[in-house]
Chains A and B, each alone.
Chain A
């Protein structure tokens, strides 16, 4: 066999074959801060989902005689709000809405923005100009104002909040997706794939998506905390969720008047928002470093 001498005798790489995601997992496990943050987020989500079954008080049932009880009151560990409703129950039930409105717009915007950005970045030319200039229009307004304006126009309500926040987050995600995709588009392996005669759709599906999705995903994760704060802000202003639904932003607003009576109590929803958004931010940082293949 003539090729015997061309066979390399160099050893195969020492590490066992490892998939991309198992590599990411292995790196995450070595990162205690990220693990802790994901545990907090997961705990909040689980508590919110299973709220009716974990023996909480009725979050809607008030009591005129037990209003604004301080933290540590018997039967109400976290006290009661201005209508005498149990704060612990309202905070956990409030997590349902807050997390839902905080996360879903980013999820929707992630799909819409990625699709727009990948198409704009891969196809380029006129398509790129049309998509990206349209997106630029939205950047003319600060995201808070844009969310308030759209919500104000559509009216208060959960669905309208979702719609307005999704619209707010599509442009930044599109822009990131476009930037990452045009970067990947310029790489030689895209040329090599095109040289096989593959059509644009196949090249995007096999070679582009896998390489652009993780940076876009990490970026989107970092937006969830902003989104949650914006959603809470809309409720705070009275153009998001309507009372008596428990929602952290709304609760922060209604407890505002009690700030001199019981400051710790009125700060509780804010503390929840703070912890959640901080954990989401740290989680996104951790994901960013774990998803970096080449190190």
Chain B
């Protein structure tokens, strides 16, 4: 692509290290009530989440509502203030080495609701150019048209239109163009294709794949749709009630899920075979409320294999013995955990 000559500088300061390291990230939202508005409880939205993202990699984050995946996204980009934990971007720790403003130059986000994320009073061009104006770049409008062209929106036709005149797919392209105009290195896509129709979703996924290759981008792709996550990601991270329960390369997790929750989530996917429909739901009931999550392993209330140790102690995230890259937080996989079936892996 000769038209685009401002591809981000992918040669970072630490070529070998991961692009993003998240350590023990935590966010509890207070629930206020009563006469004086005192804190009555805390929603443990994100509780001790740690992970890494390598350069050029796509990390998929999956989980059900209330598992903290969207809060994690907002914490990464500083839209929500973290209670504690470290965010290290390209070797620089947010806070001591790296200001929030500088982080936001390198990390951009695309949201789910393509309409709500665009200011209804700004033209498409103004919306895309806004970030470049804030950064004080030369010719923000020119850059914005270039980006629009790149995401498949003809600037001549769309630059002066308003968000409500566009279709959902077109608006999501605008949001992608706006994120790319900041020349980010990491793009957080929070359910970015979930609201689109299936046929349009495929177009946007193709676009995201092209852009990743062209600009050397790293993605964090948050979705509830396992098929989409599998298609676009290199590794998948599964969250349950604010905690990471499993992280693994796509092929490894697709072949064998190590955590009972992950397995349930996978079996809950509708079958595509009319002769072999799902017979028994993998789980009963709804996910518990993150206000007062269960003790120990948070999944023990719905887990078929739960034993006393699961109620008492929270398992640590650790590599499987057969594949160290496949991390799981489950007592079943830890021979020393004290679980009666420990060390034998997940029974079928």
Contacts and interface: CB of A to CB of B under 8 A. Distances in A.
Touch A–B, Cβ below 8 Å: yes
Interface of A: 1-3, 5-8, 10, 12-13, 15, 17-18, 20, 187-189, 191-198, 202, 206-207, 210-211, 293-294
Contacts of A198: 130-131, 134
Interface residues of B, number: 48
A2 B3 CA distance: 13
B79 A191 contact: yes
Contact of A189 (B79, B108, B118): B118
Contact of B111 (A2, A8, A192, A294): A192
Given A189-B117, A198-B130, A17 B152 contact: no
A278 B111 CA distance: 45
B120 A5 contact: no
B105 interface: yes
A18 B165 CA distance: 10
Interface in B139-169: 150, 152-154, 157-158, 160-162, 164-167, 169
A2 B109 contact: no
A183 to B, nearest CB: 12
A211 B119 contact: yes
B135 interface: yes
Contacts of B259: none
A189 B77 contact: no
A293 B109 CA distance: 27
A202 B117 CA distance: 17
A210 B104 CA distance: 25
Contact of B130 (A10, A12, A206): A206
A6 B116 contact: no
Interface stretch (B6-14, B87-95, B202-210): B202-210
25 contacts: A1-B1, A3-B150, A3-B210, A6-B210, A8-B170, A8-B173, A13-B166, A17-B123, A18-B162, A188-B116, A188-B117, A191-B74, A191-B79, A193-B119, A195-B104, A196-B108, A196-B130, A196-B131, A196-B135, A197-B100, A197-B102, A197-B104, A197-B105, A198-B131, A293-B164
B165 A8 contact: no
Nearest to B203: A6
A134 B134 CA distance: 35
B122 interface: yes
B27 interface: no
Given A6-B210, A197-B135, A210 B157 contact: no
A6 B167 CA distance: 16
B120 A192 contact: no
B161 A8 contact: no
Per CB-CB distance, the 6 closest pairs between chain A and chain B, nearest first, are A196-B131, A197-B104, A210-B121, A188-B117, A188-B116, A13-B165
A17 B130 contact: no
Nearest to B100: A197
Most chain B CB within a 10 A radius of its CB, from A191, A196, A198: A196
B55 interface: no
Most chain B CB within a 10 A radius of its CB, from A6, A191, A195, A202: A195
Interface string B65-77: 0000000001001
Contacts of B102: 197
A192 B152 contact: no
Contacts of B130: 193, 196, 198, 206
B190 to A, nearest CB: 10
Interface string B286-327: 000000000000000000000000000000000000000000
Contacts of A8: 152-153, 169-170, 173, 203
B35 to A, nearest CB: 16
B101 interface: yes
B245 interface: no
Nearest to A12: B157
A202 to B, nearest CB: 6
